Amino acid sequence: MKKIRVAVIQLNSGTDTDANFKKLDDMLSESEEVDLLALPEVFSMRGNKDDYQAAAETIPGKLTDQLMMMAAERNVWILAGCVMEKAGDTIYNSSLLFNRGGEIVARYRKMHLFEANLDDGKKIREGDIYTAGQHPVIADLEGWKCGMTVCYDVRFPELYRFYSERKASLMFVPSDFTEGTGRNHWEVLIRSRAIENQCFIIAPNQCGPNARTGIESYGNSMVVGPWGQVLGRASHKEEIVLAELDPSEIDKTRHRIPALEHRRL
């Protein structure tokens, strides 16, 4: 594995896909060249149940065509946090990885669907929109083995252990993590998954209020190293966080504390 440069894109996406892409292009026009662009969950369109159902499309489709073009034109890998994937009568919350040539090299359908009862009485149930995926997915990014997850998956450490046991050294957690849970849980969960598995975590998040639901997203997109160190962190506004991932840090961490060799279960 070689060192890679990552740009984690934190967005406050609305319901207008074209406007969201225009904003993304504007942000990227002032960014440094990197190897990987990491986009958050619902980066292309953020709204309510009806919006997501209306926006669902097959893969390949119009949205993936745009991402293929972007990856090829910029000669960059793109983690598309999630697209609303239509497969027959079913909709999945799917995360995609595009290579520098614009090809889709991995598709992960979110396995754990978020459900919460908020303090203001509102309920969130992804299961009302999506069907849960059934399979973990490991992707190869220029020698890096990458475990693909989305948002609520981060609460299920067994998924990350599954990837770790199969030599994944980089995990993706594109998210639309809410303000209410984010204040207490976001950093703890992201850093815990990195420390437990002695791997890098890339976690782009949405920020600001969802204009259709009024639910606030936490922001604080993060890149975390295998020692649990925060290599980059966003605030509560739209911005790009840059970080370099050095694979030698994995070896150093696992040499210091060879915890993965000491597992008994």
In angstroms, rounded to a whole number, what is the distance separating the alpha carbons of residues 93 and 70? 21
Q: Tell me the DSSP string of 147-202.
A: EE--GGGGG-HHHHHHHHHTT--EEE--B--BHHHHHHHHHHHHHHHHHHHT-EEE
**216 has pLDDT over 90:** yes
Give the tens place of pLDDT for each residue, 243-257. 999 999 999 999 999
Question: In what helix (H) or strand (E) does residue 15 lie, and over which residues does it extend?
Answer: none
Share of the chain above pLDDT 70, in %: 100
The predicted pLDDT at position 16 comes to: 96
Q: Which of 41, 85, 126, 238 is catalytic?
A: 41
Q: Is 41 a catalytic residue?
A: yes
Fold exhibited by the domain 4-262: Nitrilase/N-carbamoyl-D-aminoacid amidohydrolase (3.60.110)
pTM above 0.95, yes or no: yes
Torsion, CA 57, CA 182, CA 133, CA 39, rounded to 10: 40
Residue pair 122/162 in contact (Cβ under 8 Å)? The answer is no
Q: What angle do CA 46, 202, 22 make, to 5 degrees?
A: 40
The predicted pLDDT at position 62 comes to: 96
Q: From the centroid of its chain, how far is CA 7? A: 12
**Measured in Å, how far apart are the chain's first and last C-alpha atoms?**
29
Domain ranges in the chain are 4-262
Torsion, CA 149, CA 153, CA 154, CA 155, rounded to 10: -160
How much is the mean pLDDT over the chain? 96
The predicted pLDDT at position 124 comes to: 83
Question: In what helix (H) or strand (E) does residue 212 lie, and over which residues does it extend?
Answer: none
Q: Which of 85, 110, 238, 249 is catalytic?
A: 110
The predicted pLDDT at position 36 comes to: 98
Q: Which of 82, 146, 151, 207 is catalytic?
A: 151
The predicted pLDDT at position 122 comes to: 77
Give the tens place of pLDDT for each residue, 107-153. 999 999 999 887 788 788 999 999 999 999 999 999 999 999 999 99
Give the tens place of pLDDT for each residue, 141-191. 999 999 999 999 999 999 999 999 999 999 999 999 999 899 999 999 999
Residue type, 7: A
Give the tens place of pLDDT for each residue, 186-211. 999 999 999 999 999 999 999 999 99
